[in-house]
Amino acid sequence: MLRAIISDIHGNLEALKAVLADIDRREISEIYCLGDIIGYGPNPRECIDLVRKRCTKSLLGNHDQAALFDPEGFNAGAERAIFWTRRRLETGDASKNQDRWDFLGELPRMIREDKLLFVHGSARNPLNEYVFPEDIYNQRKMERIFGLVDQYCFQGHTHIPGVFTESMNFLSPEEVENEHPFGPEKFLVNVGSVGQPRDADNRSSYVIIDDEKVTFCRVEYDFTATAEKIYEISDLDNFLGDRLRDGR
């Protein structure tokens, strides 16, 4: 059975639509979302609605939680974006907004299915911990995280796709030719970001899993349209639009 795993949409409707179209083209009906549906981007309402409609299961991300409560540890631009996002979810159709808040408020922090674990951040801190490629040199951190993973973990949060192996390697999608097999060794997979890639590739990133392997996918979308929307909103820093062009 094929399953698509997406993450870090960040209110980028153009990117989300492009990824969903690619998933449809592959005739995949089961979609998991690892959180951060909103934050940074100009279309929080529409992205929540699409995730509610299309995703089989979804998780809470740190930006989703920040909109529900208060942003903690965010930089000034991210904080302003959250407060703007919250206002968008508090104005307009009250009934639809209540449905959106209810949806966000009921999202779990992790999902466990047999040997698979799904989180936004890490197995140790599902909401907020970043696992960066250079963390393979932090043996204590990685050992503690792997100790909480039965076999395979799928995560987002850093917006940098790739595979972390228990033998302390990080493998970029290019290094594995976009495919990594399920095997006896534990691994963590960062699925990358739909709405704000940060690996110097401006295409949206997501993964597909079947019984044998993980496949990394990249999808082009109209990032210029998203950036122009951001530029028109004074509470969203222009940098949030600029970075879409460079994938940073």
What's the gap between Cα 3 and its chain centre?
15
Query: Using one digit for the tens of pLDDT, what is the confidence trace for 46-81?
Result: 999 999 999 999 999 999 999 999 888 899 999 999
CA distances from 160 to 113, 130, 137, 170, 205 (A): 24, 10, 17, 11, 9
**Which of the four pLDDT bands, split at 50, 70 and 90, describes residue 1?**
confident
Q: If you average pLDDT over residues 192-201, what whole number do you get?
A: 97
Query: Using one digit for the tens of pLDDT, what is the confidence trace for 76-96?
Result: 999 999 999 999 999 999 999
Distance between CA 156 and CA 154 in Å, rounded? 7
Rg (CA), the chain: 17
pTM equals 0.96
Q: Which range is least confidently modeled, 69-73, 120-124, 188-192?
A: 69-73
Q: Which two tokens stand for residue 138?
A: 């932090």
